[in-house]
Amino acid sequence: MRALPVRRIATTVLCTSLLLGTAGPVMAAGSDSPHGSSQEAARAPVPNADALLAQVKTLGDAGGVLTPVTDLLTTVLKADKGQLPAADATKLAAPVKNAITKAAAVAPKAPALPQTPAAPGLPDTAALPQTPALPQAPALPKALPDGTRVAADPKADALKALQASVDALVKAATGGDVAKVASAVPPVLTGLVNLVAATLVGGGLPKPDLAGLPALPKSPTGSAALPQAPALS
């Protein structure tokens, strides 16, 4: 008579084990689903991330130039009569050149597309009668009316001018003439300001929205509008 309860207990344990074994994976899958979704959401890219990263890089390149140049200026201005040992001047000038070279680097050009085959020649057509020659239009002026030049790449021009002014400062700081140092510092400061201005104007950055700040000028397109030629008679 004792065997019957033992069989019932064994059957109950077996059924319970089967139910738990079946429900376990289902419950685990259900609990993992929200966690997996949150991980996928965390890895989702920021909208317009590439464009924003390009703006961040533009500012980073400009900032990477500012720091070594200001370090050079600070060291020269604090030195006795603005003079530095040649080794120290070279050591300070090297990061400036590297930063300017990095900021001036351009993206590699895309490979040229394969040329399309030449179209088969068309049959010759009968010659048309010549039209009378029109009078030549007067030559357009090569320069702007006020003699100013429009920069095709303001940032590149600013970097080039900054490097030249830094070279002049290093030469003055190792040449023994304090007067030359005093005259070489302002062009470097102006070069930094020009670089910042060129970066803000032509770097594709968002427009400033500080109250009371005047609007920045638009970046030149590389060529100014030429005056229209007079109508032919």
* pLDDT score for 50: 83
**CA-based angle 203:208:209, to the nearest 5?**
160
Query: By the 8 A CB rule, do 170 and 93 touch?
Result: yes
φ/ψ of residue 83, rounded to 5: -110, 140
pLDDT average, residue stretch 82-92: 95
* pLDDT score for 7: 55
Which stretch, 20-24, 82-86, 215-219, 220-224, has highest mean pLDDT?
Answer: 82-86
- Rounded to an integer, what distance in angstroms lies between the CA atom of residue 209 and that of residue 215? 9
Which stretch, 6-15, 98-107, 137-146, 187-196, has highest mean pLDDT?
Answer: 187-196
pLDDT tens figures, 187-206: 999 999 999 998 888 767 78
* pLDDT score for 219: 56
- Spatial CA neighbour of 173 closest among 90, 109, 97, 101: 90
- Rounded to an integer, what distance in angstroms lies between the CA atom of residue 67 and that of residue 195? 13
Query: By the 8 A CB rule, do 210 and 120 touch?
Result: no
* pLDDT score for 6: 54
User: What pTM was estimated for this model as a whole?
Assistant: 0.58
* pLDDT score for 232: 46
Residue 13: DSSP 8-state? H
pLDDT tens figures, 130-189: 766 666 665 555 555 555 555 468 889 999 999 999 999 999 999 999 999 999 999 999
Query: By the 8 A CB rule, do 180 and 172 touch?
Result: yes
Instruction: Name the burial class of residue 55, with classes exposed (0-12), middle (13-18) and buried (19+) by CB atoms within 10 angstroms of its CB.
Output: middle
Query: By the 8 A CB rule, do 227 and 140 touch?
Result: yes
pLDDT tens figures, 42-78: 667 788 888 888 888 888 888 899 999 999 999 999 9
